[in-house]
Amino acid sequence: MQTTQIFKILALLVLLIGGETQASTYIVKPSETFYSIAKRYGVDVNQLMKVNNFRDARTLRAGQRLSIPSSKSTSSSKKAFKPTKKSLRIVLDAGHGGKDKGACWHGVRESDLNLRVVSRVQARLEARGYDVTMTRTSDVFISLAKRAKFGNRYRNSIFVSVHFNASSDTRVHGAETFYAGGKEGYYLASSIQSELVKKLKVVNRGARIAKFTVLTATRCPAVLVECGFISNSWERERCKTSNYQSTAAQAIVAGIERYDRSF
Ligand SMILES: [Zn+2]
């Protein structure tokens, strides 16, 4: 009696150890579903259906034999979650840099703020499966023509230049997004602009046409985003915070995603 018990335990152990590394067989009990079986074995529902050649989960019946894939392979694939690869490439351009600091007000340099926002945009886009190209990732000077060339390297891309604004009239504040023309440029600019206004709760200065070099020399849809005025003391204090920079990045990404869903 005791020996049979030991054998039973040993057999169970073999099953348990074996189940982790190789596929095992399971007989479906009444009222069980792919979901309940997958959950019990800690495997992916889709993979469970796939290895058993099921297309419709509703066709599962009690008494059927199922191969249970190794939980090891499914859990490791779960850990290394990869987003669906997007076909659109985003060329991100942090305005100014190096000897060109852009607008400078009370120790706040536009070139620094631009880079901080762009890095956050990059991280968010890559997490969503987008390929991202950066015109600069550090405090270096790059000519406008060279920046535009980045946008012309790829077949399916958009170009997004990030800036902060300044005006001699220090009362002026708000966000605006420029594009050079065209239906796609307009849509990209207005998508980003409306997300900026909604998320940052700033004055809406609109999506506007401008003939900036980075916009006119790029062949793909291109926009230049002005996230806020650092010449306005109230807005400058907001722009300096990492919270504002993160929210601006979120808004830019939301605008890009909205554009990507439409074109
Ligand atoms: Zn600028």
Are the C-beta atoms of residues 259 and 191 closer than 8 Å to each other?
yes
Domain contains 54: yes
Q: What is the pLDDT of residues 102-157, one digit of tens each?
A: 999 999 999 999 999 999 999 999 999 999 999 999 999 999 999 999 999 999 99
- Tell me, what's the pLDDT at 38? 84
Last residue of a domain, one of 53, 79, 105: 79
- Tell me, what's the pLDDT at 144? 96
- Are residue 70 and residue 30 in the same domain, yes or no? yes
Angle, CA 113 vertex, CA 92 and CA 225 arms, to 5°: 50
Query: Average pLDDT in the 230-252 region?
Result: 98
- Tell me, what's the pLDDT at 32? 86
Is residue 248 pLDDT above 80, yes or no? Answer: yes
Are the C-beta atoms of residues 241 and 228 closer than 8 Å to each other?
no
Look up residue 120 and give its amino acid: R
- Are residue 40 and residue 118 in the same domain, yes or no? no
User: How far is the C-alpha of 75 from the C-alpha of 59, rounded, in Å?
Assistant: 26
- Are residue 112 and residue 217 in the same domain, yes or no? yes
Is residue 14 pLDDT above 50, yes or no? Answer: no
- Number of structural domains found in the chain: 2
| CATH code: domain of residue 121 | 3.40.630.40
Last residue of a domain, one of 79, 98, 122: 79
Q: What is the pLDDT of residues 86-107, one digit of tens each?
A: 999 999 999 999 999 999 999 9
Confidence bin at 22 (pLDDT 50/70/90): low
Q: Ligand 1 mean position to 224 CA, how many Å?
A: 9
Higher-confidence residue of 11 and 117: namely 117
Domain contains 3: no
Are the C-beta atoms of residues 230 and 105 closer than 8 Å to each other?
yes
Domain contains 189: yes
Is residue 164 pLDDT above 70, yes or no? Answer: yes
Q: Ligand 1 mean position to 18 CA, how many Å?
A: 62
Confidence bin at 82 (pLDDT 50/70/90): confident
Q: Which DSSP state fits 247?
A: H
Q: Ligand 1 mean position to 26 CA, how many Å?
A: 64
Three-state SS for 216? helix
Q: What's the token pair of residue 193?
A: 């602009």
Domain contains 14: no
Q: Residues lining ligand 1 (ion), CB within 5 A?
A: 95, 102, 163
> In terms of residue numbers, what domain contains 63?
20-79
Give me the torsion for CA of 59, 61, 67, 72, rounded to 10°: 80
Of 103, 130, 129, give the one whose Cα is nearest residue 114.
103
- Are residue 183 and residue 73 in the same domain, yes or no? no
Domain contains 4: no
Q: Ligand 1 mean position to 246 CA, how many Å?
A: 18
Q: Ligand 1 mean position to 95 CA, how many Å?
A: 6
- Are residue 221 and residue 106 in the same domain, yes or no? yes
- Are residue 100 and residue 75 in the same domain, yes or no? no
Look up residue 135 and give its amino acid: T
Q: Ligand 1 mean position to 163 CA, how many Å?
A: 5
Give CA separation, 103 vs 94, 116, 162, 178, 249, in Å: 13, 15, 13, 17, 20
Last residue of a domain, one of 79, 101, 130: 79
Give me the torsion for CA of 245, 247, 248, 253, rounded to 10°: 130
The model's pTM is 0.71
Q: What is the pLDDT of residues 24-79, one digit of tens each?
A: 888 888 888 888 888 888 888 888 888 888 888 888 888 999 988 876 555 444 45
- Tell me, what's the pLDDT at 18? 45
Give percent of the chain with pLDDT exceeding 70: 87
Are the C-beta atoms of residues 194 and 132 closer than 8 Å to each other?
no
Q: Of 36-40, 106-110, 211-215, 259-263, which gets the smallest average pLDDT?
A: 36-40
